[in-house]
Amino acid sequence: MLKKISLVSLLVATSLFSFERASIGININQDDVEIEGKSSIEYFTDVPEYRNFFLEGNYLNAKKNLYGLGVSAENSPINYQNLLFSIGLKGVHSSNGADSFTAMPITFGAKARLGLEGLPETYLGIKADYAPSVLTFQDGENYGDYRVELDTNIIPNVNVYVGARRVNTNYKSGDFKLDSKAYAGFKFVIDPR
């Protein structure tokens, strides 16, 4: 019952991210489902200078539930618009029976636009979220979430993607690999630029 309530709560929360410069997505594999949302902070402040700052949230239903909420900044280097870098801070929480886990990982990411002739816009991205023991609380020791993803725009405002992730929630009582699998999904993208 708690799992269903958590899933419905996250669906409602991610609907808040459905404004301009935003995306809502779902990805699955044989065992897991993840729902994710992202929105530019510019919408909430009406300040154009905040266009590159984002709120992000996700829910991963794997061997145990993992919730995440964070803020990030992303931008392209001057004179190279086909590359995007991001950095941010995220809060994650998970529980495994008697053990609870909360961490504040630092997030790093990069995404490159692949110039594939005659194909839709395609991007290759990597992302790493890492929290050493000083940023891990309760019964946790450290946390890591590492991903690689290939994303393509199949029709306007809809992207499909495939990727692989490895999520480790290491407790003081032992290491726990939450997820280490490939996945596929789609997302609705709202970007009026």
Q: What does each of the 193 residues of the chain score in pLDDT, given as a tens digit?
A: 444 444 434 433 433 333 347 899 999 999 999 999 999 888 777 777 778 899 999 999 987 889 999 999 999 888 888 899 999 999 999 876 667 789 999 999 999 999 888 888 899 999 999 999 999 988 788 999 999 999 998 888 999 999 999 998 888 777 778 888 999 999 999 875 5
Q: How far apart are CA 97 and CA 166, in angstroms?
A: 21
Inter-residue contact 50 to 39 (CB < 8 Å): no
Q: What is the pLDDT of residue 97?
A: 67
Q: What is the pLDDT of residue 178?
A: 80
Query: What are the Cα distances from residue 141, in Å, to 12, 71, 166, 174?
Result: 31, 23, 17, 9
**Phi, psi (5° rounding) for residue 127?**
-150, 140
Here the tokens at position 138 are 């309760």
Helices and strands, number each (H, E), in the chain: 2, 12
Q: How far apart are CA 97 and CA 95, in angstroms?
A: 6
Q: What is the pLDDT of residue 48?
A: 75
Domains in the chain with CATH codes: 2-188 (2.40.128)
pTM to 2 decimal places: 0.82
Q: What is the pLDDT of residue 96?
A: 66
Inter-residue contact 158 to 186 (CB < 8 Å): yes
DSSP-based three-state secondary structure for 64? coil
